[in-house]
Structure 1
Amino acid sequence: MENLYNTSSVVVLNRFNHSSENVYPAFLFASLSYMIILFCNLLLMLTIVLNKSLHQPMYLILLNLPINDLIGSSAFFIQIINDLLTNRKTMQYSACVAQAFFIHIYAAGTVLILTAMAYDRYIAICWPLKYNTVMTYANIMRIITVVWMSCIVMISVLFFLLLRLPRCRSELTHPYCDNPSLLTLVCADTTINNIYGLLLVAISQVIGNGMILYTYLQILVACFTSKRSDTKAKALQTCATHLTVFLLLECMGLFTIISYRIQNISLHLRRFMGVSTLIFPPTLNPIIYGLKTKEIREKVVHFFRYKVFPS
């Protein structure tokens, strides 16, 4: 039986009940998934950074999305791949907290970055004459700074509230470390932590999702009232694609959050949905938001055609 207060610096991992035969397939799947995520996101980042013609407000904001995706996927995959390779069943508590911190930065950053991107498109389509005045380089830098500082401050407070509490348990069953799973190790009153966590979720959902849905709705209205059929079709396709990916991410994220508060939900389903939020968005985002954009796609095709595979 564990002591009332556990001061051990190690947590016990009970994430996956896989047999020895499944270790190598799981390792290959995790490694391949991470390599695909790295390739797609680094390709998008380098395309924007190395082409001066893409140093425009929309692409400068978009640049933050692959950076954020790499933060979340790296925090998850590096630890998982290492655990599968070494068959290790323990993890340093400090490493677990670090993984949880960066995964929460990724979650908050995704919502805020997509909100900033939606705002940029809203100004560009609904107020095109004011776009160059509103979306100046200085304002873009302010928006990006606010996004990252908001993430860091909100998540730092969340983990400050967590780390002040004593632990009396050491076993983790979630696929990765996050604030709710770390709270299960605590043997003190977590009311303040729960209230602050729910407040963060409520703020991100109301403000972030509200702004995204409102801006895309206004964009759709502007497109349908436009006399240019090509503009209408292009914007409609873009909005529909972006909204689909965003709603998919939101559904998976909300399910993961709610599942901690419902006892009857299958542990395997909770694990699957939790892992999905760290695999699918970082894989789809650079394709949907980057490579489907005509200007970026042309730069990527040109690079591979004339630099990588010259005829």
Structure 2
Amino acid sequence: MSLQNASINVTHFIIGGFDTLSRPIAVGVAILITYLLAVLANMANIMFIISDKRLHKPMYLLICNLAIVDIVYTSSSSPTMIAVLLAGVNTISYVECLIQMCVFNLGTAMESFVLAVMALDRLIAIIYPFQYHTYLTNTRVLVLTLIMWFVAWCFVFYMPATVVPLPHCSSRLKYSFCDFAAIIRTTCVNPEKYFNEVAIGAFFILFFTFVFICLSYCGILLFVKLSSNNEKKKMGSTLVSHLICVIVHYCPAFVRVIFTRFGVVLTLEERQGLVIGAVLGPCLVNPFVYCLRTKEIKQKLFKIFKKFHTYD
């Protein structure tokens, strides 16, 4: 039977990733709470930075961009998962599914790009503190941010361009939302070729940004060796927040995208958990890390709480 005869006209997809879940309500409530906390925390970071002119500096513009990426990233899939688990709405239109796939992968790519640029920011700030504002200006950071978004969109554009021409033999998604792997598995073609192509693109983004971050850390550590103990403590503190964000993003990403192409076999449940953790983990951790470890933002929070306490 030819592909044309076997294929079906898909207008909606059925999300079947949670069909075997024993406690969908509990998982849905957990995802909902995590999602709301992540969005509110990231929005608070953005508002703090926008409202305070003293924070209109390269480092805070990068934190603000990371918060925007986190909101986009977690909002790409969390509402769909919450709707499936708590409201029982397990269908999504074909066009909405493609948009969700694009936004999800855009968020994945942008997380890597932003963390790499933030590593560069810390490298320049520590090694060239007096020339920092010469090398990194607000204008240069904004231009760099626009370039990152453009490159990420170029990478993501491959996915709908690949999926749309393919015939579909099923309208049921195996996973919990519309990512590339879920949609490709509904087509009438062998998915391995497409998985390998996307894995190569993802590998370049993850590998080169991760290597760049590691090289930046090596440069900082070599410089720290020559510094005094007080300077070492201060520099170490500035790196901890970034290091936490790097670990939370790259560990599940490498397992999900790279290691599975080299023989690591995951069950459907393990892959589901890994994807959900990869979406919600960084988006929840990043804003709290930078709120608690960035002096200016922490001071602003204390002032707000003190003001509310005074009114009480």
Matched, 1:217 2:218: yes
- 1:114 Cα deviation after fit: 0.6
**2:185/2:191 contact within 8 Å kept:** no
Confirm or deny: 8 A CA contact 1:158 1:193 kept in the other structure. Answer: no
After superposition, the Cα gap between the structure-2 partners of 1:245 and 1:140, relative to the gap in structure 1 and judged at 3 Å, is closer
Structure 2 equivalent of residue 74 of structure 1: 75
Match of 1:234 in 2: 234
TM-score normalized by the length of structure 2: 0.90
For 1:202 and 1:25, locate their aligned partners in 2 and report how far apart those are by CA, in whole Å: 34
Secondary structure of the 1:197 match is helix
- Residues 158 and 27 of structure 1, relative CA distance in 2, 3 Å threshold: closer
**Residue 35 of structure 1 corresponds to which residue in structure 2?**
36
- Which whole-Å CA distance do the structure 2 matches of 1:215 and 1:131 have between them? 15
Change (3 A) 1:100 1:123: same
- Rounded to whole Å, the distance in 2 between the matches of 1:225 and 1:176 is 50
Provide runs of 4+ in structure 1 moved above 4 Å: 189-192, 258-264
Identify the residue that residue 116 of structure 2 maps to in structure 1: 115
Contact 1:220–1:236 (Cα < 8 Å) also in 2: no
Superposition pairs of residues 168-247 of structure 1, within 5 angstroms: 168-188=169-189, 193-227=194-228, 229-247=229-247
In structure 2, what is the Cα distance between the partners aligned to 1:31 and 1:274? 16
**Number of the residue aligned with 2:56:** 55
Count of aligned pairs between the two proteins: 308
Q: Alpha-carbon deviations, 1:217-268, whole Å to 9, x = none?
A: 21122222112x2221122133244224312321101212247645842221
Letter in 2 for 1:99: Q
Matched, 1:18 2:21: yes
Unpaired runs of at least 5, structure 2 = none
Query: How far is the alpha carbon of 1:307 from its aligned partner?
Result: 4.6
Map of 1:5 onto structure 2: 7
Per-residue CA deviation, residues 178-209 of structure 1 (Å, 9 max, x unaligned), is 11221111223657634541232222123211
Tell me, in whole angstroms, the C-alpha distance in 1 between the residues paired with 2:185 and 2:191.
10
Q: Which runs of 5+ in 1 are unaligned?
A: none
- 8 Å contact from structure 2 (residues 76, 104) kept in 1: yes
Aligned residue for 1:299? Answer: 300
Alignment CA distance shift 1:126-1:12 (3 Å) = same
Match of 1:257 in 2: 257
Letter in 2 for 1:163: V
Q: Does the CA contact (< 8 Å) of 1:259 and 1:265 recur in 2?
A: no
Contact 1:44–1:291 at 8 Å: present in 2 too?
Answer: no
Using the size of structure 1 for normalisation, the TM-score is 0.91
Letter in 1 for 2:242: H
SS in 2 for 1:11: strand
Q: Kindly tell me: are residues 110 and 25 of structure 1, through their superposed partners in 2, closer, same or farther at Cα, counting changes over 3 Å? A: same
For residues 309 and 15 of structure 1, the distance between their equivalents in structure 2, rounded to whole angstroms, comes to 49
Determine the structure 2 residue equivalent to 1:281.
Answer: 282
Please provide the CA RMSD for this pair.
2.3
